[in-house]
Amino acid sequence: MPNFETGNLALGLIFPYQNPVSDDRLNDWMDENNYNPIVQDSPRALNIGPSGLEVEGEEGVGKKDGLRLLYQSSANLNGFPNSSFITIKNTEQIEFDPVISDAKSIYSWLDEYIDVDEEIVSRELTIEGLLRVGRDHDLSNYYSGETFDLLESVGGSSAKGVTVQFESSAKPDSNDWYRILLDGKSAGNPNLWSMKMTLRYDDIDEIDQESVLSSIDELISHTEEE
């Protein structure tokens, strides 16, 4: 299995329209499921930090036991420009069961008010974390030797792969769409790679922890020098 030093896992329910539920109703769900409301003292500030875009302040609208409830009533997601989402996120570790359990709870609760099977267009799983790799791992192994020969002829010196991004050729509004990013430089440690994987599903029950983690392991294995 992948050797994550740190990480988080989120499962979001995506709507193709805005404002799918009122704040009052969402607060009722939080009360029933032991989430404590998060009250922001001031608007959350966006900054550009060492690892990219960073947000100051607590994330989400509710929290319990390492889980966060995120609600964005107006969003611009890849493939869904005028959308919204409700997400359960485990901010402390990559643990599937509590996230899936509470996402299913929200799904069932929403079904009292809307036709969830028709109106939720995607279930988006996101895994982010720092992966510990060995000395024989090199992102350059994703590229061909011809690529590096070309880069050396253009730039005048040899090159090395430090970041790799893969994105599905499927349409972004399809649940066959995915994106995977590996960055070997942002952590400042050559043995720690940051990873972000986004997968979309037609049904929450399609999410298989062993299959997802095995695919990450297989992906990383291809960076090992033979």
Q: Encode pLDDT of 88-106 as tens digits.
A: 999 999 999 999 999 999 9
Percent of the chain topping pLDDT 70? 91
Q: How confident is the model at residue 157 (pLDDT cuts 50, 70, 90)?
A: confident
Q: How confident is the model at residue 156 (pLDDT cuts 50, 70, 90)?
A: confident
Q: Is residue 98 part of a domain?
A: yes
DSSP assigned state of 26? H
Nearest one of 11, 177, 1, 191 to 86, comparing CA atoms: 11
Nearest one of 75, 67, 78 to 20, comparing CA atoms: 75
Q: How confident is the model at residue 51 (pLDDT cuts 50, 70, 90)?
A: very low
Query: If 0-12 CB within 10 Å is exposed, 13-18 middle and 19+ buried, where does residue 8 land?
Result: buried
Q: Is residue 46 part of a domain?
A: yes
Which tens digits make up the pLDDT trace of 189-222? Answer: 989 999 999 999 999 999 999 999 999 999 998 8
Which tens digits make up the pLDDT trace of 117-132? Answer: 999 999 999 999 999 9
- Whether residue 150 is predicted with pLDDT greater than 60 in this model: the reply is yes
Q: For the chain, give the mean pLDDT.
A: 87
The helix (run of H) or strand (run of E) holding residue 46 is strand 46-49
Strand 178-183, strand 192-201: pairing: antiparallel
Q: Is residue 37 part of a domain?
A: yes
In contact, 86 and 12? CB cutoff 8 Å: yes
Calpha distance 207→96 (Å, rounded): 9
Look-up: residue for tokens 């008010």?
113
Q: Is residue 210 part of a domain?
A: yes
Q: Is residue 226 part of a domain?
A: no
Residue 53: which domain range?
4-221
Q: Is residue 62 part of a domain?
A: yes
Q: Is residue 84 part of a domain?
A: yes
Number of domains in the chain: 1
Q: Is residue 105 part of a domain?
A: yes
Calpha distance 97→69 (Å, rounded): 15
